Amino acid sequence: MVKIDGGRVRALRESKGLTQLYIATSVDVTTDTVSRWENKRYPTIKKENALKLAASLEVDLGELLDRDEAPEPDSPETPPEPPEPAATSMADDGPEQVTTPAATGAAPRPTRAIKTALIITALLLSGAALALFFMGRGQNRPLEISVRRIAPPHFVAGQPFPVFLKVDAPADEPRSIILKEAIPPGLHVVTALPPISGQDKKDNSIKWLTKVRGTTTFAYTLRSELSYQGTLHLDGFVKGPDNATAEITVDGDRQSTSGVHHWADSNRDNRISDEEILAVYDLAGSDQPIGIDMELIEDIWLGDGYVWQAQQQRFAVRE
Amino acid sequence: MKTSRRYPSAAAGCFLLALLFLLATSGHADGVSARLFQDQPNSVIVEISLSRPAPSNLIVEVFLPRGVAVTAGQPKPAKIERKKGSVRWLLKNTGPGTVQVRLVANQAVRLSDCTALIRYRQPGSGTLIEITAQQ
């Protein structure tokens, strides 16, 4: 466990224009946790998380550590504190102190005028924050990134098939993105490349949090349940690290239907042509990174066609 | 001369179109060119030159005269079809530069009796392109 300076975390995050969501995704915690770190409610955190936090803020861990372990002395403006409260509570990731009102009555009570001034100030600040929020929504910056999904038009239930996401970004400097894909019901992810940054069990989605420059291909392999029948729908988006950038929907192929043809046989003629095998290698590369049986695809290409043997759950190649 | 001075862009366009046509119908297209040669009477070599943006994967298919059999290939061919008299290679992870495939036959072969086809997907568009190696 290490003790971090929440104020420093917030200042660094805001200076880089990053959202709490971006940091949360990067460290693989919830936005509530990030908020608690910044508000110093969880000053001590796991070293593993602290390292991820430093990486996402692009600083060394040392820059986030709270160097002053001792309690800070009261500033001259702070009124003398009441006697030390007795009540404390424990949060799930670290100690949290809750102070109770002084029971002695020795501390000066705020006057009605001060209370009124505080309420007015709070209302004004809230109004300003809301105005900034809505003004900001109307001025979303373009992300200058496009994403195209390439998915086979069909697949065989129970057999893995790949989905590719081609991200085109400006070549000048790396752009931080969150790329998210919803996994259709009845399917699960076999593998992904590059490895995903996180998987959300609630909405069954996967996401990458990374930097892109030029054209980058992301790929994942899906496998359905054996009993799957029908058409699956694919959906996803890409977003920048700050709230100012608009969310962009992933373009390209959006659905795929279960059947008896190999996913690489795009024209369903029970053969894999030169064009089809070149398309597979151009997209997937040749080092089998995403759990595709390239040897089988090559055998079908070199052979005289194939048939799907449902009983044996395999493709038989005609020689 | 007068025409080309008055319409320099049109003249240049016609020249480019003619050049593109020549490239597309010979052993050269989109920065990919191929030639066929021998280092021994019973060998056939296909040399493919790739310039940026180069295709990542290529299929090379050589057709030999009837009755000629292949005894060796470098790199190892993906398939040798004796009936068709063809040899196929799938070259992966290609990049800018030169790549060669070589076969050795059981007898001397005349280059003029051989044909070599190179197929690849055009980088960017994904269109299938086929060129014939020049002798």
Specify whether A35 is located in the same domain as A183: no
Provide the pLDDT confidence category of residue A286 given band limits of 50, 70 and 90: low
pLDDT in tens, A297-311: 999 999 999 999 999
Tell me if chain A has a CB within 8 Å of the CB of B129.
no
Specify whether A301 is located in the same domain as A158: yes
Nearest CA-CA partner of B133 in B23, B24, B27, B22: B27
Helix axes A294-302, A274-284, angle to 10 degrees: 160
Domain end point (choices A37, A63, A89):
A63
- What domains appear along chain B, each with residue ranges and CATH number? 27-132 (2.60.40.3670)
- Cβ distance A275 to B128 less than 8 Å, yes or no, reads yes
Average pLDDT over residues A205-213: 93
- Residue A96: is its pLDDT beyond 80? no
Q: Look up residue A169 and give its two tokens.
A: 């970004």
Domain presence at residue A90: no
Cis omega before residue B53 (within 30°)? Answer: yes
Domain presence at residue A238: yes
pLDDT of residue A308: 96
Domain presence at residue A218: yes
Higher per-residue confidence, A52 vs B10: A52
Domain presence at residue A253: yes
- Residue A317: is its pLDDT beyond 90? yes
Show residues of chain A in contact with B88, CB under 8 Å: 302
**A158 close to A226: Cβ distance less than 8 angstroms:** yes
For residue A197, the domain's CATH number is: 2.60.40.740
- Cβ distance B79 to A302 less than 8 Å, yes or no, reads yes
pLDDT along chain B (135 residues), means of 10: 50 50 50 94 96 93 94 94 91 94 95 96 92 91
Tell me if chain A has a CB within 8 Å of the CB of B92.
yes
Can you tell me the ipTM of this complex? Answer: 0.78
Specify whether A159 is located in the same domain as A287: yes
pLDDT of residue A138: 45
Whole domain around residue A263: which residue ranges?
A: 146-317
Tell me if chain B has a CB within 8 Å of the CB of A303.
no
**A91 close to A41: Cβ distance less than 8 angstroms:** yes
Q: Is A286 left (phi over 0), alpha (psi -120 to 50) or beta?
A: alpha
pLDDT of residue A142: 73
- Residue A94: is its pLDDT beyond 50? no
Provide the pLDDT confidence category of residue A102 given band limits of 50, 70 and 90: very low
pLDDT of residue A158: 95
Show residues of chain A in contact with B57, CB under 8 Å: 278, 281-282, 286
Task: Quote the minimal CA–CA distance from A189 to chain B in Å.
Answer: 26
DSSP, collapsed to helix, strand or coil, labels residue A57 as coil
- Cβ distance A282 to B121 less than 8 Å, yes or no, reads yes
> Cβ-count burial of A23 within 10 angstroms (0-12 exposed, 13-18 middle, 19+ buried)?
buried
Domain presence at residue A122: no
pLDDT of residue A309: 95
Task: Quote the minimal CA–CA distance from B40 to chain A in Å.
Answer: 29
Specify whether A54 is located in the same domain as A154: no
pLDDT of residue B111: 94
Show residues of chain A in contact with B121, CB under 8 Å: 275, 278-279, 282
- Cβ distance A277 to B55 less than 8 Å, yes or no, reads no
Pairwise CA distance, residues B6 & B10, whole Å: 9
Specify whether A180 is located in the same domain as A304: yes
Domain end point (choices A29, A63, A97):
A63
pLDDT in tens, A16-27: 778 888 888 778
Number of domains within chain A = 2
DSSP readout, chain B? Answer: -HHHHH-HHHHHHHHHHHHHHHHHHTTEETTEEEEEE-SSTTEEEEEEEE-SSPPS-EEEEEE--TT--EEEEESPPSEEETTTTEEEEEE-S--SEEEEEEEEESS---GGG-EEEEEEEPTTT--EEEEE-B-
Q: Look up residue A37 and give its two tokens.
A: 């770190």
Residue given tokens 């466990």 in the structure block? A1
- Residue A92: is its pLDDT beyond 60? no
pLDDT in tens, A150-199: 999 999 999 999 999 999 999 988 888 999 999 999 999 999 999 999 88
pLDDT of residue A103: 41
pLDDT of residue A100: 37
Q: Is A78 left (phi over 0), alpha (psi -120 to 50) or beta?
A: beta
Residue given tokens 């790949």 in the structure block? A162
Higher per-residue confidence, B130 vs A105: B130
Domain presence at residue A18: yes
- Residue A68: is its pLDDT beyond 70? no
> Cβ-count burial of B104 within 10 angstroms (0-12 exposed, 13-18 middle, 19+ buried)?
middle
Task: Quote the minimal CA–CA distance from A283 to chain B in Å.
Answer: 10
- Cβ distance B78 to A298 less than 8 Å, yes or no, reads yes
Tell me if chain B has a CB within 8 Å of the CB of A277.
yes
pLDDT of residue B22: 44
Domain end point (choices A63, A90, A105):
A63
pLDDT of residue A319: 79
Task: Quote the minimal CA–CA distance from B43 to chain A in Å.
Answer: 24
DSSP A302: H
Provide the pLDDT confidence category of residue A117 given band limits of 50, 70 and 90: confident
Computed over every residue of chain A, the mean pLDDT equals: 81
Domain presence at residue A279: yes
pLDDT in tens, A79-90: 443 443 433 333
Specify whether A152 is located in the same domain as A288: yes
Specify whether A156 is located in the same domain as A291: yes
Specify whether A160 is located in the same domain as A297: yes
Domain presence at residue A274: yes
Specify whether A194 is located in the same domain as A293: yes
For residue A30, the domain's CATH number is: 1.10.260.40
- Residue A202: is its pLDDT beyond 90? no
Provide the pLDDT confidence category of residue A235 given band limits of 50, 70 and 90: very high
Average pLDDT over residues A228-242: 92
Specify whether A31 is located in the same domain as A150: no
Specify whether A304 is located in the same domain as A156: yes
Q: Which residue of A has its CA nearest to B79?
A: A302
Q: Which element (helix H / strand E) includes A91?
A: strand A89-91
Q: Look up residue A212 and give its two tokens.
A: 């892109």
Specify whether A160 is located in the same domain as A51: no
pLDDT of residue A113: 80
